[in-house]
A and B are shown apart, each in its own frame.
Chain A
Amino acid sequence: QKEVEQNSGPLSVPEGAIASLNCTYSDRGSQSFFWYRQYSGKSPELIMFIYSNGDKEDGRFTAQLNKASQYVSLLIRDSQPSDSATYLCAVNREGGSEKLVFGKGTKLTVNP
C-alpha cells in the first residue's frame, strides 16, 4: 500500500524562525511531490510542488526533494503567525499517475 508519512506535530516555532516540515513516501515510482496548506475549516491550498531532486524556492518557502532517500521537506523562512496551519504532503501514486496520496499532515503553530 502506498504511504506518505508525516510527523503529526504539533510543531511550534517562534515568529521569524525557520519551520521545517518533513515527509517520507513509500513508492519509488512517484514523480510528483506537493505541499498543501490547510487552515482550520478550509480546504487544502497548493503552495509548492517539486519534481526533481534538489531545492526549489518560492518566496519564503523552499521545497527539498531527495528521491534516493524517498524524502521531501518544506522549509518556511521568517515564519509568521499567518503560517499557522496544517501542512499536507502529497505524492503521486506511481510514475505518471494523476492520483495523489496524502499524508496526515503536520500542524504548525507560529507563536508571536
Chain B
Amino acid sequence: SAVISQKPSRDICQRGTSLTIQCQVDSQVTMMFWYRQQPGQSLTLIATANQGSEATYESGFVIDKFPISRPNLTFSTLTVSNMSPEDSSIYLCSVEGWGQDEQYFGPGTRLTVT
C-alpha cells in the first residue's frame, strides 16, 4: 500500500478562520478522497478529488465551505473555511488501492475550533 502523509497532524483554530490540510502520497493515484470523522462517529465522505477535474462533493458539503485542490497525482488539499466549533473533527484523506475499490487512509488531521 502507499505511504500517505497529512499536514498538520492537529491544530487549534479560532472561529471564523480557515485551515488548509495537505495530503501527500508517495505514488501516483487517480482517486483521492476526503472524509470527516466527528467524535465517536464513523467516517463521512466529504468529496472525491480527481486530478485535472473539479472535486465531486457529497450531499451536505459545498465547495465554498470545503474547497479542494488536486494539482497532481500525488497531492491534494482540503480547506475548511470560516470555521465554527461544529467543524471540530478529524479530517482524513484516503487514496484508492490497486484492487477493487479498497482505500488506504492517511494519519488524519485533528482539528479543534474554539
> What residues of chain A have their CB less than 8 Å away from a CB belonging to chain B?
31-32, 34, 42-46, 49, 51, 88, 92, 97-100, 102-105
Contact = CB atoms under 8 A, between A and B. Distances in A.
B106 A32 contact: no
B12 interface: no
The secondary structure that dominates the A interface is loop
Interface stretch (B69-77, B80-88, B93-101): B93-101
A42 B102 contact: no
Contacts, number: 49
Given A43-B105, A99-B48, A104 B100 contact: no
Contacts of B44: 102
B102 A46 contact: yes
Most buried by A among B43, B48, B92, B96: B43
B99 A103 contact: no
A46 B108 CA distance: 15
A92 B44 CA distance: 13
Contacts of B33: 99
Interface size class of B (residues with CB under 8 A): 20 to 34
A45 B31 CA distance: 18
Contact of B101 (A43, A44, A100): A100
B54 to A, nearest CB: 16
Given A43-B92, A99-B48, A88 B101 contact: no
A102 B43 contact: yes
A100 B45 contact: yes
Given A43-B92, A43-B108, A100 B42 contact: no
Interface in B30-51: 31, 33, 41-45, 48
A95 to B, nearest CB: 11
Nearest to A1: B59
Given A49-B99, A99-B48, 16 more contacts: A32-B102, A34-B103, A43-B105, A44-B43, A46-B1, A46-B97, A46-B103, A49-B100, A49-B102, A51-B100, A97-B101, A98-B101, A99-B45, A100-B101, A102-B42, A102-B43
